[in-house]
A = this chain, B = another copy of it.
Amino acid sequence: MLTQRRGQFPTREELRIWRNFIETTDALRAAIAARLLSESGLSTGDYSVLLALTEAENGRLRSSELAATIGWERSRLSHHLGRMDKRGLIRRENCTGDNRGAEAVLTGEGAAAFHRATVPHLRAIRELFVDGLTPAQVGAAGELAAALRDHLESAGGGASSR
């Protein structure tokens, strides 16, 4: 209680910045996602999955590897693959050599959708993110992200981590 670091709470100004920061990044994410969806019919989740499969050997990946690649929980991926399967963007196959495994396989339709999406998506990132900042600010964004990420990883992000 003695050793409590400077202000237990954020100052008014810090709080204002926090709210602004989190709301703005949220709006940015939503705007990019909306553009992607309207221009290609893909959600950002779809895009991540298709990107990973496109870059994978033979357009196929074991479910758990795919989850690790894009940083998703297993059950989230499972639900999402179910929806993508229903839409014909991917196909599920049994994993040869390990019968409990499953592989997600890129379909022609999935590959086509991904290719239709990529150019407009990159353009949206440039227009809404890069073009809104000076080069110095883009650099600052990178440093900010790195600092926050390091801090999160060390200081424990989760709820149960302390």
A: residues with CB less than 8 A from B are 5, 7-10, 14-18, 20-32, 34-35, 37-39, 71, 119, 122-123, 125-134, 137-152, 155, 157-160
Contact = CB atoms under 8 A, between A and B. Distances in A.
Contact of A128 (B137, B140, B152): B152
A40 to B, nearest CB: 11
B158 A131 contact: no
Which 6 A-B pairs have CB atoms at the shortest separation, nearest pair first?
Answer: A132-B151, A31-B157, A38-B159, A34-B159, A17-B142, A25-B25
Report which residue of A23, A37, A71, A125 has the largest number of chain B beta carbons within 10 angstroms of its beta carbon: A125
A31 B132 contact: no
Nearest to A11: B130
A25 to B, nearest CB: 4
A28 B123 contact: no
A37 B159 CA distance: 8
A155 B137 contact: no
A9 B141 contact: no
A145 B24 contact: yes
27 contacts: A10-B126, A14-B125, A14-B126, A14-B129, A14-B130, A14-B138, A15-B122, A17-B138, A17-B139, A21-B25, A21-B144, A23-B71, A24-B152, A25-B26, A25-B148, A26-B29, A27-B152, A31-B157, A31-B158, A35-B159, A128-B152, A128-B155, A132-B148, A132-B151, A134-B147, A137-B140, A144-B144
